[in-house]
Structure 1
Amino acid sequence: MSDSPLTIADRIQSQLDRLTRAERQLAQSILDNYPASGLGPLSALASDAGVSAPTVARMVQKLGFKGYPDFQSDLREELKAKGTTPIAKHDTWAEGAPSAHVLNRFTDAVIDNIRHSLAQIDTADFDAACALLADTDHRLHIVGGRITHTMAEYLFLHMQVIRRDVTHIRSTSNTWPHDLLDLREGDVVAIFDVRRYEANTLKLARMARERGARIILVTDQWRSPVHTLSEICLSSRIVVPSAWDSNVTILLLIETMISAVQTLNWDDTRPRMETLEDMFDRTKLFRKFT
């Protein structure tokens, strides 16, 4: 197995400009059903992508593998990691835990996550996501899961101030189909989904896509199955020395998005903020010290 901290999807994205036309065709085929697409025989992958077996062998080497068996070994490890439970994650970290204090180990892991995530995120994709979030010609719907609903709510609360027509859909409730009733073609749906990927979130994404929604997905390095339905997919590394994954990098993305969208919409956002502050003053919701 490779020692690279990057997933195979990361490596493919970073090599796209260096690939031949046939290799790019193969790369897209792999990413369309990743990581399961590469788990069969080399000949099957070549046939599915409409390329030759030597094309597969060449691209695998360009990605840094000695051969197809090593490539498959990494794919299997990624597939295994996708479904890892909190107990298994804890045991993996505990087995080889260094003597450094957990504050240092955890912080080092988070900094690594941020560094690797920023290296892999396409800034053009990030800018396009912010433009969609800022576009008030279309309504915005924000969705999270069992854990990531907190991330979704954080983005929702800020977007609600920045722009009009924002809805927080709770996929963990059995009422989420009600929220899709008024979904219009062209509406933007921002979805948060990290391992272990939630069935309800995938169902919601499929129905939203059928109704013409444009999906922005924020996910982990292995990518939620929702990525096949999304227009823009932003992946973050989430692994830390804990039974739980870390949302720090995702929060960094969210707060940067909030800043970017606020700047794009400032002419409309400022009067909304002023109106909201006036409401706060009238309700005496917050203490004033002047």
Structure 2
Amino acid sequence: MEADTPVTRLGEMYPGLPPGERAIARVLLDDYPFAALGSLRALAERAGVSPPTASRLVGRLGFAGFADFQAAVRAGAREHDRSRLSEFVTRPPDPHGAAEELRSGLAGTLAAMTGPLLDAVATRLAEAGAVWALGGPLSELAADYLVRQLAGLRPGAHRVPEQPAARARVLLDLGPPDVVVAYDFRRYSAATARFVDAARARGARLVLVTDAWESPLAEHAEVLVRLPREAGGPIAPLTHEIAVTELILVAAAARLAPAARLADLDALTRDLSSPDA
């Protein structure tokens, strides 16, 4: 890590900090950079101190405000990512280390799916008039998986089509009963943002699955699922996205009681798979 980053300054200043500011610093250092990416109030609550105490620490670190501090954290993390990628491509990878990192990251991702968060997503999927899912490059696979499984649990589960004209036809019929589930990760998809903005303008609600840095759509999400970690090296975290989607589907199934629908689906599948007489 570089010589002068927010986390380096925190470590250097920690011994001389007042008790309240030291509590904030412990939270930041124990869960860096993710603890720095929420709101100032949320950070203060985690540390058990007041927001003004957190503001004083930010000022002591040399930042004009919390937004400047967060910008520096994000910039430092991106530079760290680039350094890791450079190291990965210039040095033979250690598969055992990568497996352990993936395992650790996945555990953190699953832990982030708290009971209340799962309840919120599952309730919206169960009660929506229709569910439309989409993603960007690679994350579209998670959106497709969600729809394939959800369609067996309830009617009205659809993938958002790729072509603009087809998306426009979908938007014609979207309204307040409907839910859009968007998977949006760095680099964030402009096409996803355009569809979501248009869907929200027609009253649809947004469930967003994104990364620790948060898609620009995060502020518009009725329910925000933020995955706290990425996979090791340059590999995108599809494992994490699929695992979270599995949890969401299990929670939704518990609200939908889909036994009869699944039995019909199995019977229809068998009929359609029978060889011609």
Q: Which amino acid aligns with 2:72?
A: R
Q: What fraction of aligned residue pairs are identical, expressed as a percent?
A: 19
In the alignment, is the contact (CA less than 8 A) between 1:218 and 1:235 conserved in 2? yes
Match for 1:9: what amino acid? L
Residues 106 and 241, structure 1, Cα contact 8 Å, conserved in 2: yes
Aligned to 1:243, the other structure's residue is in SS state coil
User: Is the contact made by 1:143 and 1:192 (CA closer than 8 Å) also made in structure 2?
Assistant: yes
Kindly state the Cα deviation for residue 131 of structure 1 after the two structures are TM-superposed: 0.7
Structure 1 match to 2:86? 91
Which residue of the partner structure matches residue 143 of structure 2? 152
From 163, 168, 173, the equivalent of 1:173 is 163
- Give the alignment partner of residue 9 of structure 1, picking from 18, 28, 37: 37
Alpha-carbon distance in 1 for matches of 2:170, 2:267: 30
Q: Which residue of 270, 277, 281 maps to 2:266?
A: 277
In the superposition, the TM-score normalised over structure 1's length comes to: 0.72
Q: Which has the higher helix share?
A: 2
- Tell me the secondary structure at the aligned position of residue 213 of structure 2: coil
Aligned twin of 1:78 = 74
Q: Which residue of 1 aligns with 2:61?
A: 67
Partner Cα distance (2:131, 2:102) in 1: 30
Mapped to 2, the partners of 1:195 and 1:145 lie a distance apart of 9
Cα distance in 2 for residues equivalent to 1:242 and 1:106: 8
SS, match of residue 134 in structure 2: strand
Residues 1:276 and 1:76: Cα distance change in structure 2 (over 3 Å): same
Cα distance in 2 between the residues matched to 1:83 and 1:233 = 26
TM-score (norm 2): 0.75
After superposition, the C-alpha distances for 1:171-213 in whole angstroms (9 at most, x for unaligned) are x432322211100113111110000001111111111111111
1:69 CA displacement = 3.6
Alignment RMSD (CA, Å): 3.2
Pair 163,14 (structure 1): closer, same or farther in 2 beyond 3 Å: farther
2:121–2:223 contact (8 Å) kept in structure 1: yes
Unaligned runs of 5+ in 1: 24-54
Among 207, 221, 235, the residue aligned to 1:244: 235
Unmatched 5+ stretches in structure 2:
8-28
1:79 Cα offset (Å):
4.4
Distance 1:182 1:242 in 2: 42
Say which of 119, 122, 135 aligns to 2:127. 135
CA drift at 1:237: 3.3
Relative to 1, partners in 2 of residues 1:116 and 1:132: Cα closer, same or farther, differing over 3 Å? same
Q: Which amino acid aligns with 1:16?
A: E
Cα separation, partners in 2 of 1:182 and 1:273, compared to 1, 3 Å = same
Displacement of 1:74: 5.6
Shift of 1:248: 1.6
Matches within 5 A, 1:1-290: 1=5, 2=7, 4-7=31-34, 8-10=36-38, 13=42, 15-16=44-45, 18=48, 20=50, 23=51, 55=52, 58-60=53-55, 67-69=61-63, 72=68, 75-79=71-75, 90-94=85-89, 101-102=94-95, 104-136=96-128, 138-170=129-161, 172-174=162-164, 175-266=166-257, 269-284=258-273
How many angstroms apart in 2 are the aligned matches of 1:116 and 1:68? 31
CA displacement, residues 50-74 of structure 1 (integer Å, 9 cap, x when unaligned): xxxxx3xx214678x9524497466
CA distance in structure 2 between the aligned counterparts of 1:230 and 1:212, rounded to whole angstroms:
12
Displacement, 1:115?
3.2
How many aligned positions are there? 242
CA distance in 1, matches of 2:43, 2:112: 7
Contact persistence 1:110–1:249 (CA under 8 A):
no
> Partners of 2:139 and 2:55 in 1: how far apart?
34
